[in-house]
Structure formats: C-alpha cells, structure tokens
Chains A and B, each alone.
Chain A
Amino acid sequence: MPTIVYIEPDGQRKAIQVEAGANVMRTAVGNGVDGIVAECGGAAMCATCHVYVAEEGAELLPPVGEVENEMLESAAAERRDSSRLSCQLNVTSHIETLVVRIPDRQM
C-alpha cells in the first residue's frame, strides 16, 4: 500500500497508508492533517489545498493540469515549481511514498 507523508506547517510529519488511487486532499481532510483547508472540496476552485511535493515521487505524478495551473495562481503562499493542488493528486499503485509539505497559509 502506498504511503502519503504530510509535513505540517509546524514541521510535524504524519505518515498515512492509503489504498491505491487515494486522493491526497481527501486523505488529509479525513485524517485530521493540519493546514489543508480545501474549501471547494476538490473542484480546483479555491487553491486552499496547496502543497509542495518533495522530489521523490514527484516524477510519478501527472503534470500540472491546465485548470490546476490557473488556480495555483490564487494560492496564498508562494508558488514554486513543486506547487500542486492536493485535490488534483491521486496516489497510484506505482507510488510507494509521496511526501508533501504544507505551506504555512492557505487563505
């Protein structure tokens, strides 16, 4: 089973084992991970589920989508090359571990 490691804004790490296909935003919200607001519930409209993806595992994710790219411009924290909207990320079976860092603000 893949593992998603969330690094919360205060540096705390939370590792959660998930089924293949699990959504990174929904898993965070369902497991009380701090710092992901996800106001729009996964419609790529709010940019409050912003994360920075650590290098390992990043190359196994699909590239930033067109709509996601637009919406990342609305992220409250600085946009970087590693920026993603976690609601747009599903952990497929060939990802062993995905590490995402949560920025200190979403609004």
Chain B
Amino acid sequence: MSQVDYEIGKARPDQLPPGVPVITFDPYSDEVMSNPYPYYQELREAGPIVWMQKYGTYAVGSYGSVIRVLTDHESFCSSAGVGLTNFHTETPWRKPSIILEVDPPEHSRTRKVFSRILSPRSLNKLRERFEQEAHAMVSRLVSREVCDGVRDLAEAYPLKVFADAVGLPPDGREHLLPYGDMVFNAFGPQNDRFRECLARLGPSIAWITEVCQRENLSKGSFGAELYAAADAGEITHEEAGMLVRTMLSAGLDTTIFTLGNALVCFARHPHQWAIVRDNPAIARQAIEEVLRYDSTFHSYYRTATRPVTLDGVQLDKNQKILVLIASANRDSSHWSSADTFDVRRKPAANLAFGTGIHGCAGQMIARLEAEIVLKALASQVERLEALGEPELHFNNTVRGYSSLPLRLVAKDRKGK
C-alpha cells in the first residue's frame, strides 16, 4: 500500500520549511528492520533533522540532535505519548503510563519512588543471588550439546531473577512476553504487526493485572516496596499497582533482547569474546558496547510543546519528532569506527537507555543482570558457536532475536 497518511502529523512535505530533507523509507517495514543501520546513515547524512514522509513526523538521528531533544523536556514533552499516537489529539490504546508519559512536576513524584527502589544502593543486595542463578544456568547449558541461546538463557534468566525480584509467582510467567511485545509495538504505528500482536495477547492482560495486586507479590520485593511507598503516601495504591505493571512491561523484553543481542554479537565476533573471556573485568563495558552497537530500544517520540526551533528548523506546537537513539549510537561524528563492534572502546555516554529526565529508570538492574550473565559465561565458556542463523524478532521499537541455536563450548579446566 502506498497510501500516505498525513493526518497523523501536521505539516505536509510540500509545506515544509526550506532545508528539511524528506525521507521516504518506512522505519517500521520488515526491510528496514532487517538491517536498519544503512538507512539510519542515509537519514543522518540527509541532515540533523528530517521529515518522515510516510508518517508525517520529523525525525532526528544524529548524536547531537538526539541529546538536544532528550535534554529539553520543556520544549519536547512526553505527555503527548512517546509513541506515534498523539494523546493530545488521538485516543491511546491503553491508559498512559504515569512515569513514562507524564511531564514534571507529576513525573518527579513517581520517578523518585521508582528510582529509589532500583538505585545502585538497593540493588546491592540482589547481586549474590543473581550471580548464583547465572552460574547454575550457564553450567546446565554448557553440559548440553546444543541449546537455544535466546530461549534457554536470554529469556530464562530475566524471567527467573527479574520476575523474582519484582515479586511474581513462579507460574504463568510466559504471559509476560506477549504483553511486553505489545507495549513496544504500540510505540509505532497501528500496522499489521501491531494488530496481530494485539490479537495474540489473549489471557496475558488478565494474568498481569492479577499478579500486580498487592496480595500476590512476595515479601521484600520491588512490588512490595511500591505498595509500601503508597502506604507512606508518596503515591496512591492504584498507582503502586500501575508501577508494578510498568516494571513488567519495561523491564523484561528489553533485558531479554539485550542478552540475546550480546550472544549474537559474541557468536559472530569470536575475537571479541576472547577479550571478555580472558578479562571478565571488562564485562560491564562490553555490555555498553553491545547496547551501542546493536541497541535494543531503537526509537520513540517527543512532541513539541510550543513553536520551537531545532537545528535551524521551525517546528509547530504538537508536532511529533521521532528520536532514533539507535542511530545516534552509530553516528560517526561522535564515535570513531562507529560500525565496528569493539568491547575495548571506552564507554562514552551511549544513548541506548535514552537520557534526560526520562532516561531509563531500570538501567542499573539491566546492567547488573547483563554483566553477571556475561561474567558467568566468561568463567565457563571458551567459545560460543552459532549452529545456524539467529532468528530476528520483528517489533516496532525494540530489536532482538527470538532464537539462536548455540553450542557453548566449555573451557578446558585442566588446560589453564
């Protein structure tokens, strides 16, 4: 279908201010998603800000422009939704998130509670348990001839440790994945992918609503802490339940895809794996590089709160801007050899977790999980041998794999 829907945005290409290059590719098409990076390069080369013809929005993909948008929340807000749908003019598919899709001062109220629970200090107590689980899981996989890196590790690990930390019951956790898939599809257009995903949701929403209730969350869990914050009057009890749900929608698919992307990167770049294996202290930095090189979260939107000039272009109020963080992470004006995967690279503020007041509130636990899994692999695994091509999972905003047939070749214990 080549029909162009101008209703979503406001300006039309023929009415654009001078100097705005028009981009015609569809970032949500299978073709672009299969390998988006050459398209992102085209977009960055076209200009710091461009017009996405298919959806009637602006887009930024260079490092500097992305930072300018994300750090100016007064001009570029989140309360109109961080997806393509403009909540100020259209109806969202679900109630807007009370942390992701609100502006200050409301935002600080929920963010403060969320970030306290997921702060480095509170996470310290989880490290030991997370390490034990990672070692046990990796040992089991090493002893098998073949495994599926995505299902048996990238999915299994967060579904165990993260869901335990949130306080969920052990049974029924498979419902979490279709729900997360839906949430991330919904940041894009209501395309076939979105509709098929919605149709597949089935009983997942009911299950999730149930487990977010206070009585179903384990003692001492993040979920219990959210309800305690409600007892203390910082948020309401209803909001506590909504924030438990936020943890589940924002915190699983993202971490799972990141772990899967790491496995694919290291299976494809054995020399890079050797560096991590021989020097596990580098694991945390290596995860930053995985997130930079193949970012999990690709793009989301901001909306102009007033007429505003961005990189020389005058934007109208209510205009949506697509913010391509995955493109900024490959911008060669910021990164040297931007298209090279190099775990020795000094981490220099990659944008995989966004930045500014809405920068990921769960990033410290995501880093913790990924670092621990990588270290567990480094202590036991000589090489990661892919036994076939990984299968890409198509989602409108997050990028990752649904399957990776893998052999984890054990280190020779007597050898060294």
Is B119 touching A42 in the complex (CB atoms < 8 A)? no
Among B192-200, B296-304, B344-352, the stretch in contact with A: B344-352
Q: How many A-B residue pairs have CB under 8 A?
A: 72
Nearest opposing residue in chain A for B360, CB measure:
A43
**Docked CA distance A42–B119 (Å):** 14
Which chain A residues lie closer than 8 Å to B272 at the CB level?
Answer: none
**Docked CA distance A47–B355 (Å):** 14
Is A66 touching B108 in the complex (CB atoms < 8 A)? yes
Is B363 touching A40 in the complex (CB atoms < 8 A)? yes
Which chain B residues lie closer than 8 Å to A70 at the CB level?
Answer: 112, 115-116, 119
Residues of B317-376 at the interface with A, using a CB-CB cut-off of 8 Å, are: 347-351, 353-361, 363-364, 367
Indicate the size class of the contact surface on chain B. 20 to 34
Is B360 touching A66 in the complex (CB atoms < 8 A)? no
Q: Is residue B172 contacting chain A, with contact meaning CB distance below 8 A?
A: no
Nearest opposing residue in chain A for B367, CB measure:
A39
**Docked CA distance A45–B99 (Å):** 15
Known: A67-B108, A73-B121, A74-B121. A45 touches B115 (CB 8 A): yes
Q: Which of B120, B348, B351, B357 contacts A46 (CB 8 A)?
A: B120
Is A38 touching B349 in the complex (CB atoms < 8 A)? yes
Which chain A residues lie closer than 8 Å to B359 at the CB level?
Answer: 40-45
Is A41 touching B112 in the complex (CB atoms < 8 A)? no
**Docked CA distance A41–B348 (Å):** 8
Contact string against A for B residues 85-115, beta-carbon threshold 8 Å, 1 for contact and 0 otherwise: 0000000000000000000000011011001
Nearest opposing residue in chain A for B109, CB measure:
A66
Q: Is residue B71 contacting chain A, with contact meaning CB distance below 8 A?
A: yes
Is B120 touching A41 in the complex (CB atoms < 8 A)? no
Is A43 touching B108 in the complex (CB atoms < 8 A)? no
Known: A73-B119, A73-B121. A41 touches B349 (CB 8 A): yes
Known: A29-B348, A38-B349, A45-B364. A71 touches B115 (CB 8 A): yes
Q: Give chain B nearest CB distance to A76 CB in angstroms.
A: 9
Known: A38-B349, A41-B350, A42-B355. A67 touches B119 (CB 8 A): no
Which chain B residues lie closer than 8 Å to A63 at the CB level?
Answer: none
Which chain A residues lie closer than 8 Å to B353 at the CB level?
Answer: 40-41, 43
Which chain A residues lie closer than 8 Å to B111 at the CB level?
Answer: 67
Which chain A residues lie closer than 8 Å to B360 at the CB level?
Answer: 40, 43, 45
Q: Is residue A65 contacting chain B, with contact meaning CB distance below 8 A?
A: yes
Residues of B47-84 at the interface with A, using a CB-CB cut-off of 8 Å, are: 71
Which chain A residues lie closer than 8 Å to B108 at the CB level?
Answer: 65-67
Residues of A48-93 at the interface with B, using a CB-CB cut-off of 8 Å, are: 65-67, 69-71, 73-74
A40-B353, A41-B355, A43-B363 are known contacts; what are 12 more A-B pairs with Cβ within 8 Å? Answer: A23-B71, A38-B349, A40-B359, A41-B353, A42-B356, A43-B353, A43-B359, A45-B119, A45-B360, A47-B121, A67-B112, A74-B121
Task: Report the 3 A-B pairs with minimum CB-CB distance, sorted nearest first.
Answer: A43-B359, A41-B349, A74-B121
Residue contacts A-B, CB under 8 angstroms, 30 given: A29-B349, A39-B347, A40-B359, A40-B363, A40-B364, A41-B351, A41-B353, A41-B355, A42-B355, A42-B359, A43-B354, A43-B357, A43-B359, A43-B361, A44-B357, A45-B118, A45-B119, A45-B363, A45-B364, A47-B119, A66-B108, A66-B112, A67-B111, A70-B116, A70-B119, A71-B115, A71-B119, A74-B119, A74-B120, A74-B121
